[in-house]
Amino acid sequence: MPVQDPRVPGMLDVAGLKSAVADGSIDTVILAFPDLYGRLLGKRLDASFFLTDVGGTHVCDYLFTVDMEMEPVPGYEFSNWDLGYGDVHLAPDLATMRRLAWLDRTALVLCDAELQADHRPVAVAPRSILRYQLERLAANGFQAMAGSELEYYQFRVSYMEAARGAYRNLPEAGWYIEDYHLLQAARTEDLNGAFRRNLAASGVPVESTKGEFGRGQHELNVRYAPMMEMADRHVVLKQAVKEISDQLGCSVTFMAKPDAAQAGSSSHLHVSLWREKDGEMVNAFPGEGNLAGIACSEEFRWFLGGWMRYAPELMVCYAPTVNSYKRFQAGSWAPTALAWSPDNRTAGFRIVGAGPSLRIECRIPGADVNPYLAYAAVAASGLAGIEQRIEPPPAYLGDVYSAQEAALLPTSLEEAIVSFERSELARSAFGADVVTHYAHFFSTEAEAYRRAVTDWERIRYFERI
């Protein structure tokens, strides 16, 4: 049955935490939550203090309105200077409690953000947004299963050194393309091996790491799980990779396109729907139907149809930064058009597996994605497809990069914001207040870029204009 196994190494319950505190192996509990960017923020608590009241803690509500530099941004209704920037409550989700193998005597609990007054979920919190969509799926008899594939570039320089040099001319951990290349990958096994071992011991079951199509680029895959658990594993993975790299004097980036001359970094999303049959949970996608040679159910077709139809309207959930859109280039392993195909890496939607493993792989998101928002968009659009019985377009068999008839993906954050603001699906699924909040968030990011003067501009125009 596809539910989280409590025996996963590193996972803790309250009794296990009490035992670890008693024997001195844990003395710190991190209470964390994902912000709008998908970063983990929170507090470190004394473990004994946490056990006296596992009801949680409070943080300033401005954390849902700050920019990348942690500056409060005006224009939000949820939190602002006029409202005094009060608190929200962090309610620990004890099912997420785990020992962090890479930090000394430390456990982590992911939290849901609640309003102080009545403990209702904070509607704009990423975890709240995903939870609501999963509840809507459950009301229709479905459970969503998911798997994130995360790619990143590695550098043999610390984060502090990289920042001091304005992130220019960083020494990549590899010096040639190492896709599946075992010799080159062995040269970074001190890093990637540490990621695998520490994650596996911290409640994030690992499948594999491999070299990718870039110099110093790697991919880390973890076991699929219920969609909320996968989003949690996704952010824990990123936190672990960054912190372990920092401990080893190295750095990684999850930027979607850190180098114009190299492949971008993806976060492919694998998704399937499950439902109860004869007392057990089974994949709802296989069936008696046939779609381009795929034995599938009506729910599969409609879910795929809805996901594809509404992808442009919800593009900000898959490509949330200005940099995201620089990854979508022909021949780059990132998609450029809205098309699907069986086992075809040029398509934005690739169908993989068969029978119980049949699933949809979406290749649109980059590694900069906030997984809670991306998976919420998947659930909302796929459910709309089932409710509206939306049929997918015909499969594209061949090189999608050369397809003249396929609709192109949005090419800029500004374009995606306009589609998001106009989306009736976004407003009906997420709520008008959530759409307004995030439209302002993404617009603030786009405006910050519009005001910036880049190295490219200085190199191009300083002397020759």
pLDDT tens-place values along the chain, 465 residues long: 344 455 799 999 999 999 999 999 999 999 999 999 999 999 999 999 999 988 899 999 999 999 999 999 999 999 999 999 999 999 999 999 999 999 999 999 999 999 998 999 999 999 999 999 999 999 999 999 999 999 999 999 999 999 999 999 999 898 999 899 999 999 999 999 999 999 999 999 999 999 999 999 999 999 999 999 999 999 999 999 999 999 999 999 999 999 999 999 999 999 999 999 999 999 999 999 999 999 999 999 999 999 999 999 999 999 999 999 999 999 898 999 999 999 899 999 999 999 999 999 999 999 999 999 999 999 999 999 999 999 999 999 999 998 878 888 999 999 999 999 999 999 999 999 999 999 999 999 999 999 999 999 999 999 999
Distance CA 44, CA 372 (A): 23
What angle, 0 to 180 degrees and rounded to 10, lies between the N-to-C axes of helices 189-200 and 227-247?
140
Residue 370: what pLDDT? Answer: 98
Q: How many other C-beta atoms are found inside a 10 Å radius of the C-beta of residue 160?
A: 11
Residue 47 vs residues 7, 18, 20, 30: alpha-carbon distances, Å: 22, 9, 10, 9
Distance CA 423, CA 420 (A): 5
Residue 457: enclosing H or E segment and its boundaries?
A: helix 455-461
Beta bridge partners of 34: 40
Question: Would you list the domain boundaries of the chain?
Answer: 14-122, 138-460
Residue 377: what pLDDT? Answer: 98
Distance CA 245, CA 202 (A): 16
Q: How many other C-beta atoms are found inside a 10 Å radius of the C-beta of residue 406?
A: 19
Quote helix, strand, coil % in the chain, to nearest 5: 35, 25, 40
Residue 5: what pLDDT? Answer: 53
With contact defined as beta carbons under 8 Å apart, do 32 and 111 qualify?
yes
What angle, 0 to 180 degrees and rounded to 10, lies between the N-to-C axes of helices 126-139 and 371-388?
30
Domain 14-122 in CATH: superfamily? Glutamine synthetase, N-terminal domain (3.10.20.70)
With contact defined as beta carbons under 8 Å apart, do 354 and 258 qualify?
no
CA angle 353, 269, 443 (to 5 degrees): 155
Give the domain 138-460 fold.
Creatine Kinase; Chain A, domain 2 (3.30.590)
Task: Give the list of residues 6+ apart from residue 279 with CB closer than 8 angstroms, or none.
Answer: none
**DSSP-assigned states of every residue in 372-416:** HHHHHHHHHHHHHHHHHTPPPPPPP-S-GGG-SSSPBPP-SHHHH
